Amino acid sequence: MNAIAATLISTARLNLVPLTVDHAAEMAAVLADPGLYTFTGGAPPTSEELQARYERWAAGSPEPAVSWCNWVIELRADRCLAGTVQATISTADELAAEIAWVVGSPWQGRGIATEAAGALVPWLGRQSVRTVVAHIHPGHAASAAVAAAAGLSPTGELQDGEQRWRLRLGP
Ligand X SMILES: CC(C)(COP(=O)(O)OP(=O)(O)OC[C@H]1O[C@@H](n2cnc3c(N)ncnc32)[C@H](O)[C@@H]1OP(=O)(O)O)[C@@H](O)C(=O)NCCC(=O)NCCS
**Where do contacts with ligand X occur on this chain (CB under 6 A)?**
36, 39-40, 100-103, 108-114, 134, 136, 140-143, 145-146, 149
Closer residue to ligand X (CB): 64 or 122 = 122
d(CA 84, CA 42): 16
CB of 20 to ligand X, least distance (A): 21
CB of 2 to ligand X, least distance (A): 27
CB of 99 to ligand X, least distance (A): 8
Contact 153, 50 (CB under 8 A): no
3-state SS, residue 131: strand
Distances (CA, A) of 110 to 33, 134, 148, 155: 17, 21, 16, 27
d(CA 96, CA 166): 10
Closer residue to ligand X (CB): 67 or 84 = 84
CB of 141 to ligand X, least distance (A): 4
Task: With CA atoms as reference, report the closest residue to 16 among 91, 96, 121.
Answer: 121
CB of 94 to ligand X, least distance (A): 23
Closer residue to ligand X (CB): 64 or 106 = 106
Task: With CA atoms as reference, report the closest residue to 97 among 139, 48, 130.
Answer: 130
Closer residue to ligand X (CB): 93 or 142 = 142
d(CA 50, CA 56): 10
Closer residue to ligand X (CB): 68 or 101 = 101
